[in-house]
Chain A
Amino acid sequence: MTNHLTQEIARPRPATAGDVEEAPAVQHTEISVRPDEFRQRGPVEHKEKTFELNNVSVSYGKARAVNDVTMDIFHQNITALIGPSGCGKSTLLRSLNRMNDLIPSARVDGQLLYHGADIYGPKVDPVQVRKVIGMVFQKPNPFPKSIYDNVAFGPRTTGIKGDMDEIVEKALTRAGLWDEVKDRLDDNAYGMSGGQQQRLCIARCIAVEPDVILMDEPCSALDPISTGRIEDLMLELKERYSIVIVTHNMQQAARVSDMTAFLMVELTADEKSRWGELIEYDDTTKIFTNPGDSRTEDYISGKVG
């Protein structure tokens, strides 16, 4: 996807897979994710960067939520953000499409580039950002309208031209929902099951043809079967979109993601308050089998958090 943002941008830094320096491999003990849980995947190709985060910090008023995150998020990858509650995963995720702007006191420092363009540049319209970078929320939040209108809302408001029936069908098909709902498109979306509602929210997001889909714990309110369907869906969507997912479920991160970032709540330098910090960011396989940081290993093996 070409540059949708209006800014001419500073040069991106040379690519590095992870910015955390490789600590000597730790002797790892019982890891809660067995190797056979990993999806069969070839070597991950990191050809194109979707996001480049350079020393990004997010604050609410005077309280800093996430401190100094530097990482690259790659195109057509699923990138998982894991870590204990309060480590700022969701905050970081919401800064990627400027949803944090809705909170008046929120402030983002550092440089956040999307395909080389500064998302927080002075001429960038957050509404334009959100058209390109969609979001799926923790709790399914369909609009109190018909299934059809839920999907059609995005294309209508963002002025996408074309046959609306076709757009709706395509989005629902890609979200794997078409066969279940094609006979009741006019029914209220609140009559669907939780899993269907969440896939409807994904369909709604796809309908505006975004480049990136951000998912904030999309399966935490769903049962394992619905979760499995959404994970399958994510793997299909990966062919077209870049996906960033926040999850508390480490098995989920191991199953679906290509890259995993581990964030942790850390004391600030003066030890008076806490904020979230990026501890380690690497290939998912490496994070789960041979983490470079002992804190990562403690977390994923269930010793802390």
Chain B
Amino acid sequence: MSTDEKDAPPRTARTRLAVAGARATTESVFGARPRGDRVSNRLFLALLLLGLAVAMAGLATMIIWAIVEGSPRLNMDLITNGPSTLNIDQAGYRPAILGSIYVIGGVIALILPLGVGAAVYLEEYADKSRWWNRLFELNIQNLAGVPSIVFGILGLAFIVRQPLGLGFVPAAGAITIALLVLPTVILASREAIRAVPPSIREGSLALGATQWQTTWRQVLPAATSGILTGVILAVARAIGEAAPLLLVGAVTFVTFDPSFFSPGFTTLPTQIFDWAGRPQEQFQVLAAAGVLIMLALVLVMNSFAVWLRNRFEQKW
């Protein structure tokens, strides 16, 4: 058979016979597996799909519910107006949005230098054979798993009250949330720094660069996208934190714009929490609209993180 006829159907009876014979032989050797095997395979696949379906259904339900429920209130009032119990149909999230921005801004300003600094120390400078460095590592991993309410109590005891004594201000909320997400940021930054191959450090040191120059001009620039991705994902999580903020002073009903160091602030999740707990129908609608704002925020941040990772990822 020549190559261009390879795929043509068998023509003569003899060819057909030969093909049938070959097929029968093949099937007897490589043929179907036992029935039980096939059933368990399908069952397993079905279980996997079920898991996926439950996750997607949960997400879809939440989004659809929020859109259906909250869509009547999707207008500028929602962003520009403050809360009100008298004029519910015009009430909005202005102080909550500003409060969230203040807290998140403070969080970013704190976790970037602290998180990256700790990660650089652990990856580039720490001698792993020393017990205290191993202890640091272990405890950072443990801290990443501590419930957020514990950080809320810590913030109340040490930041709001003595020794810092800041009072119930957005700055206290920012410090508390920063402590909460710091372990995550350190772990993500360490991953990003570790992904920079040792040959880059060697190449730099062999040129007579100091360790500090190597870290600052080679390792950190190469790890930037990974570090920023980790920071953004941590911040996206921090935006949704309500419990620790309730403890450090994010009261649920604030009608005035917050200021970083003056008492009285609220954030998006605490505001939503307040309104969702009220009996009137209009508050339910308002809460759903607030959920939409938060979802949009988180979506934008996560998309930015993905874009950053794809755009600046270095193939070694």
A137 to B207, CA, bound (A): 12
B209→A137 contact, CB < 8 A: no
Interface members, chain B 174-213 (any A CB < 8 Å): 197, 199-200, 202-210, 213
Of all chain B residues, which has the CB nearest A105? B129
Q: Is B218 engaged at the interface, CB distance under 8 Å to the other chain?
A: yes
Q: Closest CB of chain B to A272's CB: distance in Å?
A: 25
A130→B208 contact, CB < 8 A: yes
B203→A143 contact, CB < 8 A: yes
Q: What is the 8 Å Cβ interface bit string for chain A, positions 135-173, against chain B (1 contact, 0 not)?
A: 101010111110000000110011000000000000000
Q: Which of A30-38, A96-104, A114-122 lines the interface with chain B?
A: A96-104
B209→A154 contact, CB < 8 A: yes
Interface size on A, residues (CB 8 A): 27
On whether A134 and B217 interact (CB within 8 A), knowing A104-B129, A139-B199, A144-B222, the answer reads no
- Pick the contact of B202: A141, A144, A154 (CB < 8 A): A141
Q: Which of A74-82, A201-209, A236-244, A276-284 lines the interface with chain B?
A: A201-209
B209→A127 contact, CB < 8 A: yes
Of all chain A residues, which has the CB nearest B203? A141
On whether A205 and B127 interact (CB within 8 A), knowing A144-B200, A144-B222, the answer reads no
Q: Is B314 engaged at the interface, CB distance under 8 Å to the other chain?
A: yes
Q: Is A299 engaged at the interface, CB distance under 8 Å to the other chain?
A: no
- Pick the contact of B206: A104, A139, A205 (CB < 8 A): A205
- Pick the contact of B200: A131, A135, A143 (CB < 8 A): A143
B199→A130 contact, CB < 8 A: no
Q: Is A178 engaged at the interface, CB distance under 8 Å to the other chain?
A: no
B222→A99 contact, CB < 8 A: no
Q: Which 5 A-B pairs have the closest CB atoms?
A: A131-B208, A141-B199, A135-B206, A154-B207, A157-B209
Other than the known A158-B208, A158-B209, A190-B315, what 19 A-B pairs have Cβ atoms closer than 8 Å?
Answer: A97-B206, A99-B205, A102-B202, A104-B129, A130-B205, A130-B208, A131-B208, A135-B202, A141-B203, A143-B218, A144-B200, A144-B221, A153-B209, A154-B209, A157-B204, A157-B210, A190-B314, A204-B203, A205-B206
